[in-house]
């Protein structure tokens, strides 16, 4: 019996064959006909990050029935499981890159080293997230407790994902890191490239529509509101017309800067320490420390009884 006979006469057999032909042609075009490489999986990495949150904050994000005696056991067992899964995902990325480059590097040992070094960074990640939570609690009068900030605020969800993703990016697993970043993007509307360097006490208020580019550098105690963009002004091309990768092209934001909703800051410029960037500002040049940048004021004139028109 064919698939078409069991699926209401929708021509499933023909569709399967056509899709197979397209898939084969695509693999041949990319020279991967025999053994197409597997990629890191969003479906697997999502629970890994969720479980990392539970490991870092077991009393708030862990199992409901945890008691003091069981916390260490829960943390240890959960860590062992998720690090094994993470190791496999990193190995998939390294194998994919090796095949892309035509090399035959043994990836399991390298993946283990990346995973082991990442695990060592977890206490540092926890401290950074603690500082982000405290900044949100102190910076938002609507926040009733730091626990509320942790479990409710999309900016903290994005921060947790970024702190995890940035370490993996730095250690040599940028594709796994990018998948983790895009999971947060999908869930919160906050788009932070894992390459962005963000210091402690970072607070994204509301958050929807925030975009932070790969080479952005953000100092301590920076506060950002919704729809802020830290982007590139232009994309350089090489002699063959291809985009140049890796250039420093996003802003540097120094300590204690506040950037209000809708501001767009583009290019490798510096926003000096303690500056305030007003809402909806379009900024493409550096500003010194202590600057207050706002839109030009609108001029309104009222004409009575048609006077002056």
pLDDT at 304 over 70: no
Q: Which two tokens stand for residue 26?
A: 């695509």
Is the predicted pLDDT of residue 47 greater than 70, yes or no? yes
Fill in the DSSP letter of residue 242. Answer: P
Q: What are 152-186's pLDDT values in tens digits?
A: 999 999 999 999 999 999 999 999 999 999 999 99
Say yes or no: domain 209-299 is CATH 1.10.10.60.
no
Q: Does residue 7 register a pLDDT over 80?
A: no
**Can you give the residue ranges of every domain in the chain?**
28-189, 209-299
Instruction: Could you please state the CATH topology (level 3) that the domain comprising 28-189 is classified under.
Output: 1.10.3130
Confirm if 108 and 91 have CB atoms less than 8 A apart: yes
| DSSP state letter for 65 | T
CB 38: neighbour CB atoms within 10 A?
A: 13
Per-residue pLDDT band for 308 (boundaries 50, 70, 90) equals very low
Spatial separation of the C-alpha atoms in residues 192 and 213, rounded to whole Å: 6
Q: Report residue 144: phi and psi, to 5°.
A: -90, -25
Confidence of residue 309 (pLDDT cuts 50, 70, 90): very low
**pLDDT tens track for 197-210:** 999 999 999 999 99
Residue-wise pLDDT tens digits, 212-249:
999 999 999 999 999 999 999 987 888 888 888 889 99
Has this prediction a pTM greater than 0.75?
A: yes
State the pLDDT at residue 133. Answer: 97
Report how far residue 177's alpha carbon sits from residue 170's, in angstroms, rounded to the nearest whole number.
9
């Amino acid at each position: 019996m064919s698939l078409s006979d069991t699926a209401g006469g929708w021509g499933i057999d023909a569709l399967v064959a056509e899709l197979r032909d397209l898939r084969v042609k695509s693999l041949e075009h990319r020279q991967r006909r025999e053994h197409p490489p597997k990629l890191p999986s969003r479906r697997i990495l999502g629970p890994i990050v969720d479980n990392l949150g539970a490991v870092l904050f077991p009393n708030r994000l862990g199992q409901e029935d945890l008691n003091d005696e069981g916390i260490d056991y829960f943390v240890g067992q959960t860590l062992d499981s998720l690090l094994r899964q993470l190791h496999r995902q990193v190995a998939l990325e390294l194998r994919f890159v090796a095949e892309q480059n035509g090399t035959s590097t043994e990836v399991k040992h390298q993946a283990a080293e990346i995973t082991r070094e990442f695990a060592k960074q977890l206490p540092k990640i926890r401290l950074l997230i603690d500082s982000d939570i405290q900044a949100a609690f102190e910076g938002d009068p609507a926040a009733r407790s730091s626990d509320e900030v942790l479990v409710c605020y999309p900016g903290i969800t994005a921060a947790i994902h970024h702190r995890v993703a940035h370490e993996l990016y730095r250690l040599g697993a940028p594709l796994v890191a990018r998948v983790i970043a895009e999971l947060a993007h999908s869930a919160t509307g906050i788009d932070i490239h894992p390459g962005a360097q963000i210091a402690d006490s970072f607070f994204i208020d509301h958050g929807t529509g925030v975009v932070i580019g790969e080479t952005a550098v953000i100092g301590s105690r920076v506060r950002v509101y919704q729809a802020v963009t830290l982007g590139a002004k232009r994309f350089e091309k090489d002699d063959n017309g291809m985009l140049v990768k890796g250039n420093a092209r996003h802003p540097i934001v120094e300590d204690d800067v506040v950037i209000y909703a809708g501001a767009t800051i583009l290019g490798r410029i510096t926003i000096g320490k303690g500056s305030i960037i007003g809402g909806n500002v379009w900024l493409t040049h550096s500003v010194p420390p202590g600057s207050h940048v706002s839109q030009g004021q609108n001029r309104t004139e009222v004409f009575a009884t048609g006077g002056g028109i």
